[in-house]
Chains A and B, each alone.
Chain A
Amino acid sequence: MTNSTSNSIENLKDLLTKHYDIKEFEEPIALQLAFNIDKESALDALAFLKSQGFGQLSLLTCIDWIESGQFQLVYILMNWDNGIHLQLRTFLDRDKPVFKTIQHIYPGVKYYERDVHEFFGVEFEGNEESYQHLFLEMWTADPPMRKDFDPVKYSDDKYSMREYTTEFPTKIGGK
């Protein structure tokens, strides 16, 4: 089983490098391939991979690289025939994070895009629903998963704390 999948990972790599200029590939664990791709060619890469048998979009999530001022979208795809997981990663600008919806490729991505928009503020053109809230009810502050959001400050001023009066006895056997 493994030699057939290992060479299928090999020819997958050649296939991808032939079509798109992908600098380097990572293999975090067996049967998993991760690579970075620029924003423009990410869309048709996803369409191309769907045609190559990656029928399932397992997850769409976002990573906030606040130092380099970038958001990183990660699409995890899976191919049921040979069991290969594939992580397609693209970088977005942090101040104006905009990307296109891929509902026409993977219809299931509708709620993932809505979740990423709610917690990171990334806009997905073409998916009007993504501008509504999914988990948070009546949330007015800015998206909570961004690194520049301070939960402790939010929690302190929104939810009252219990004040503890600290009059412990100054010495043992005190008053």
Chain B
Amino acid sequence: MAIDDKVGRDAWEKLGDFFRARSIWMMWYCTGCGAIEMPPTMTSRFDMERLGMGPMATPRQADVLLITGYLSTKTLRRVIYSYEQMQDPKYIVAFGSCAINGGIYFDSYATINKLDDYLPVDLYIAGCMPRPEAIMNAFNTLQQSIRKGEADGWKRYKKNSEFYKENQRKAIGEVFVHDEFHE
């Protein structure tokens, strides 16, 4: 599928987006403090499964990666490695102010401030941990944007990948860590 901004989606991708909008599998990677909001969203009061969303164990099977809170440099390396293991088309939803502008950890030497420079974010949810209502509303918006084809974070990542790679290198140096714990 040749990807460029201007050309619309071909029929095959439109059909795909129809299915992808109604059945999104969430990767089970709780990167920050917002992950505690997921259980109430999944269980009986809010029931995420009504939207056709559910948790899946591995990046290969998942569609959406939830960045639920601040991202330290070490976590960011693992998030980037998992994101690249996910299958296209994939989406990213960032929870809370820490992903938007660093939040209360803006001055820390270990956490990044603007997630958008390192990973293509499709949707931000404001709040210093958004409550399940906000999360459900966000998932609805995500589904509409997928249906309309606006959730093209994975296309942006592919298209200007050297922009992202450059930012990643500047912030965290090498993604693949070679030290005594991993050799």
Question: With A and B bound together, what is the CA distance between A138 and B106 in angstroms?
Answer: 21
Contact, CB under 8 Å: B109 / A160: no
Known A138-B172, A152-B107; contact A161-B113, beta-carbon cutoff 8 A: yes
Task: Check: A155 CB closer than 8 A to any chain B CB.
Answer: yes
> Which B residues are CB-close (under 8 A) to A144?
109
Known: A137-B77, A144-B109, A151-B108. A159 touches B179 (CB 8 A): no
Whether B108 lies near A160 (C-beta < 8 A) is no
- Knowing A144-B109, A158-B170, A158-B171, the reply to whether A137 touches B179 (Cβ < 8 A) is yes
Interface size band for A? 10 to 19
- A154 to B114 alpha-carbon distance, docked (Å): 15
For chain A, what secondary structure do more than half of its interface residues adopt (helix, strand, loop), or is it mixed? loop
Instruction: Tell me whether B67 is interfacial, beta carbon within 8 Å.
Output: no
CB distance B108 to A155 under 8 Å?
yes
B74 partner residues in chain A, CB cutoff 8 A: 137
Question: A159 touching B107 by the CB < 8 A rule?
Answer: no
**Contacts A138-B177, A155-B109: A162 and B100 contacting too (C-beta < 8 A)?**
yes
Contacts of B77 in A (CB 8 A): 137
Inside 8 A of A162's CB, which chain B residues have their CB? 100-102, 113-114, 116
Q: Nearest-CB distance from B163 to chain A (Å)?
A: 12
Closest CB of chain A to B160's CB: distance in Å?
15
B73 at the A interface (CB under 8 A):
yes
A132 CA to B108 CA, complexed, in Å: 22
**How distant is B34 from chain A, measured CB to nearest CB, in Å?**
19
Check: A133 CB closer than 8 A to any chain B CB. yes
User: Which of the four size classes fits the interface of chain B?
Assistant: 20 to 34
Least distance between B108 CB and chain A CB atoms (Å)? 6
Within 8 Å of chain A (Cβ to Cβ): is B173? Answer: yes
Those of A129-172 within 8 Å (CB) of chain B: 132-133, 136-138, 140-141, 144, 149, 151-152, 154-155, 158-162
Asked if A160 contacts B177 (CB within 8 A), the reply is no
Contacts of B116 in A (CB 8 A): 162
List 17 other contacts, CB 8 Å, given A154-B109, A160-B167, A160-B171.
A132-B180, A136-B110, A137-B74, A138-B174, A149-B109, A151-B108, A151-B109, A155-B102, A155-B108, A158-B109, A159-B111, A159-B113, A159-B114, A160-B117, A161-B114, A162-B100, A162-B101
21 interchain pairs, CB-CB under 8 A? A132-B180, A137-B74, A138-B173, A138-B174, A138-B177, A141-B109, A144-B109, A151-B107, A154-B109, A155-B107, A155-B109, A155-B113, A158-B170, A158-B171, A159-B111, A159-B113, A160-B117, A160-B167, A160-B171, A161-B113, A161-B114
Name A's B-contacting residues (CB within 8 A): 132-133, 136-138, 140-141, 144, 149, 151-152, 154-155, 158-162
Interface residues of B (CB under 8 A from A): 73-74, 77, 100-102, 106-114, 116-117, 167, 170-174, 177, 179-180
3 closest cross-chain pairs (CB), A and B: A162-B101, A152-B107, A151-B109
